[in-house]
A = this chain, B = another copy of it.
Amino acid sequence: MKKLEGLIEAQQLDAETMWEIFRIADEMQAVDYDPILKGKIIQLFFYEASTRTRFSFASAALRLGAEVISTENARAFSSAFKGETLEDTMQVISRYGHMIVLRYDKEGGAKRAQQHATIPVINAGDGPGQHPTQALLDVYTMIQKFGKLEGLNIVLAGDLLNGRTVRSLCYLIAKHFPKNKIWLVSPSLVRMRDDIKEFLTRYQVDWYESDTLDGILEGADVLYQTRVQTERFDEEKERSLLERIQQEASHLFINVEMVERMKKDSIILHPLPRKTEIRFRVDNDQRAWYFRQSDNGVAIRMALLKMVLLGY
């Protein structure tokens, strides 16, 4: 019996652990309520609001009978917090429960938290850094569709500079599923950063970069669309930059006509929330898998909570 010590980055997982997460997630799909974590307290500590991710973790915890303590938006609320270090906060709240799920607004927050917390930490997104549970559910969804994650053309489209889900996803795919092709399609101003490209290269993943979906869409098995992360820009100072990015990004927006050009057996994913980058009419197409992908988040998080608190 092992216990997962927490989850900070997607790339920390070895293959065995990752497959165990997916196996337990499969089991969890059928669990509506099973209080195996009775008496455990899970703290959802969100420095920035992310109602969706917070609800998803809360649902996972409550379905397993755990208790939840939650803050929606610690950064905005408490003037006292503005002057306190993350390190102090993590040390203090370690006494309050059995586990911390942390959303932080700066890269590297989860790792710093883990160093000072005396209970396990799961990273629920740290600024432009990582969002490993999202990457897990993304990969899980692809495997759910194709049975395996091999030999696929995976197209990542949108704001690849600021989107943390695509970063975590690249790490996970490169490390455990190298025999795929990855297409990085973004406005030129928000290209994927070099660290990820180097990681892909180091793990011998075939990757390509483009600012258009033309000629790429038709061969895609997975089209992973993302939105422009407008909240990472300064509304005043970077307005014109942001407008240029959104103008360029609009060429990547998916409508029904574009979906028609895709393979019958392909799927469209999106970490949500969606703005206009996938048109609503696309929802009715059988290739639209983003709500199913989102649904998988609960099972993945149930699996992680069990593996951290009870073991596997």
What is the interface of chain A, defined by CB distance below 8 A to chain B? 32-33, 35, 38-41, 43, 49-52, 54-56, 58-59, 62-63, 67-74, 76-81, 83-85, 87-89, 91-93, 95-97, 227, 230-231, 272-275, 280, 291, 294-295, 297-298
| A–B Cβ pairs within 8 angstroms, 16 of them | A33-B39, A43-B55, A49-B77, A49-B79, A51-B71, A55-B96, A58-B96, A62-B69, A70-B70, A72-B77, A79-B231, A85-B280, A91-B291, A92-B294, A95-B294, A95-B298
Chain B residues whose CB sits within 8 angstroms of the CB of A77 once the complex forms = 49, 51, 72-73, 76
Question: With a CB–CB cut-off of 8 A, which chain B residues contact A231?
Answer: 79-80
Q: Is the CB of B71 within 8 A of A55?
A: yes
| Bound Cα distance A87, B49 (Å) | 19
Using CB atoms, name the residue of chain B closest to A294. Answer: B92
A137 to chain B: closest CB distance in Å?
12
Given the complex of chains A and B, what is the CA–CA distance between A69 and B59 in angstroms?
7
Complex Cα distance A54/B62, Å?
A: 19
A32 to B96, CA, bound (A): 10
Q: Once the chains are docked, how many angstroms separate the CA of A89 from the CA of B294?
A: 11
What is the CA–CA distance of A59 and B99 in the complex, to the nearest angstrom?
12
Sorted from nearest, which 6 A-B pairs have the closest CB atoms? Answer: A33-B39, A49-B77, A84-B273, A59-B96, A49-B78, A62-B67
Inter-chain CA distance A279–B260, complex, in Å, is 62
- Assembled-state Cα–Cα distance A273/B84 (Å): 6
C-alpha spacing A81/B298, complex, angstroms: 20
Contact B41 A80 (CB under 8 A): no
Whether the Cβ atoms of B92 and A52 lie closer than 8 Å is: yes
Residue on B nearest A54 in the bound complex, by CB: B71
| Complex interface: chain B residues within 8 A of A280 (CB) | 85, 87
Residues of B within 8 A of A72 (CB): 71-73, 77
A232: min CB distance to chain B, Å? 10
Q: Cβ of A69 and Cβ of B41 under 8 Å apart?
A: no
Contact of A88 among B71, B88, B272 (CB under 8 A): B272
Taking CB atoms, residues of chain B closer than 8 Å to A32 are 39
Bound Cα distance from A122 to B92, whole angstroms = 22
Measured CA separation A77–B76 after assembly (Å): 9
Chain B residues with Cβ below 8 Å from A92 are: 52, 272, 291, 294
Chain B nearest CB, measured from A297 CB (Å)? 8
Separation of A33 and B63 alpha carbons in the complex (Å):
18
Query: What is the CB-to-nearest-CB distance from A66 to chain B, in angstroms, rounded to a whole number?
Result: 10
Contact of A51 among B68, B74, B83 (CB under 8 A): B74
In the complex, which residues of chain B have a beta carbon less than 8 angstroms from the beta carbon of A59?
41, 69, 95-97
CB distance from A174 to the nearest CB of B (A): 27
Q: Contacts A32-B39, A85-B280 given; 7 further ones with Cβ under 8 A?
A: A41-B62, A49-B80, A50-B78, A51-B71, A72-B77, A76-B77, A83-B275
> In the complex, A273→B63 CA distance in Å?
33
Q: How far is the CB of A308 from chain B (nearest CB, A)?
A: 16
